[in-house]
Amino acid sequence: MIKRTLYFGSPAYLSKKNEQLIINKPKVKSEDDTDTDKNKVERKDKDETKTIDSVPIEDIGIIIADHGQVTFTQGLIASLLENNAAVVTCNGKHMPTGLFLSLDGGHTQSETFQNQIDASEPLKKQLWQQTITAKIRNQAALLNRKKIPITNMLNWAKKVRSGDPDNYEARAAAYYWKNLFPNILEFTRDRYGEPPNQLLNYGYAILRAIVARGLVASGLLPTLGIFHHNKYNAYCLADDIMEPYRPFVDNIVYMIVRTGEDFTELSTSIKKQLLQIPAIDILIDGKRSPLMVGLQRTTASLAKCFDGSLRKIIYPEFQDLDSISKPPF
């Protein structure tokens, strides 16, 4: 079963009762509820919130807190992490900036950690080769859906060597971004750039949280990457593994732009569409599944690559790959 994504963009008090997340909202004052001394006395013992809903904690995959007055009880946070839910917090600009994850990913976590730490450089380079090949092929499939020539992309995907020393990832990215938004003059992918960059940022932040959650569930250290290395980045491995999944986010943003919706602001309507990322239907290992479920297969396969029982990471294929030849490994 796919886990639920809960978004809170207004004041809320979140607590736990009987393994349920209890959602309380501030009460709205009635017209005659004035601040007289009499009313103040009468309201002393009244609750200032009212329960509007409850959700089984075991059904939750991600919670996004996008308001300064969203409050969590400690008991709730502990239960969410015990059930491997991810809690994302947003800043004043409504962009995800923080992530809570469980520290306990499984019964063999210590062994899995050690396998990951002991991974040889040749193995990590081979895994990065697979990752970049999958990314370029998925980018090509997205462009192919939009009737854009992709012969060069497929050739680059085939030429990626261990560790991608020729940087085919960058070559593919330059062509991809130049053609993905043809109606936006001279669009450049830049985290701090012009719209729709902010939509991509938001979508990637959600994707990153899903990937980090999957890595922890598979007993892996999100910090220790196979390619990305930065002492200030706590999620290097998440940034590695999310690469082939990015085109799924890109497609949502493309559809938003294509429909003519105002994408200069990160509106509630746009957020609602991007919050569907965990439930996107993907094709992985020949089977269709929601993205969050498929991603768990990816992270589980990565753990098996580290322990030597697998040689290939299982990545998704964009839906328009039927007419594209399979990669060489």
Domain for residue 329, yes or no?
no
What share of the chain has pLDDT > 70, as a percent?
Answer: 90
| Statement to judge: residues 33 and 138 lie in one domain | no
Query: Lowest mean pLDDT: which of 142-151, 228-237, 241-250, 286-295?
Result: 228-237
Choose among 88, 83, 125, 82: nearest CA to 7: 88
Domain for residue 326, yes or no?
no
- Domain termination residue (choose one: 55, 72, 100): 100
Query: Lowest mean pLDDT: which of 52-66, 145-159, 179-193, 305-319?
Result: 179-193
Count H helices and E strands in the chain, helices first: 11, 11
| Statement to judge: residues 206 and 248 lie in one domain | yes
Q: What is the arithmetic mean of pLDDT over 126-148?
A: 97
Q: Note the pLDDT of residue 320.
A: 63
* Residue 21 and residue 14 in contact, taking contact as beta carbons nearer than 8 Å: yes
pLDDT tens figures, 43-81? 443 457 788 899 999 999 999 999 999 999 999 999 999
CATH of the domain at 151: 1.20.120.920
Domain for residue 327, yes or no?
no
| pTM value > 0.75 | yes
The values of phi and psi at residue 10, to 5°, are -145, 165
- C-alpha–C-alpha distance, residues 121 and 118, integer Å: 9
| Statement to judge: residues 293 and 215 lie in one domain | yes
| Statement to judge: residues 31 and 72 lie in one domain | yes
- C-alpha–C-alpha distance, residues 232 and 235, integer Å: 9
> 234: which DSSP letter?
T
* Residue 99 and residue 212 in contact, taking contact as beta carbons nearer than 8 Å: yes
Q: Note the pLDDT of residue 149.
A: 96
The values of phi and psi at residue 164, to 5°, are 50, 55
Q: Note the pLDDT of residue 43.
A: 44
Q: Note the pLDDT of residue 52.
A: 87
What share of the chain has pLDDT > 90, as a percent?
Answer: 81
pLDDT at 42 over 50: no
pLDDT tens figures, 7-38? 999 999 999 999 999 999 987 655 455 555 54
Domain extent at residue 16: 4-100
Q: Note the pLDDT of residue 47.
A: 56
Q: Is the peptide bond before 26 cis (omega within 30 degrees of 0)?
A: no
Domain for residue 194, yes or no?
yes
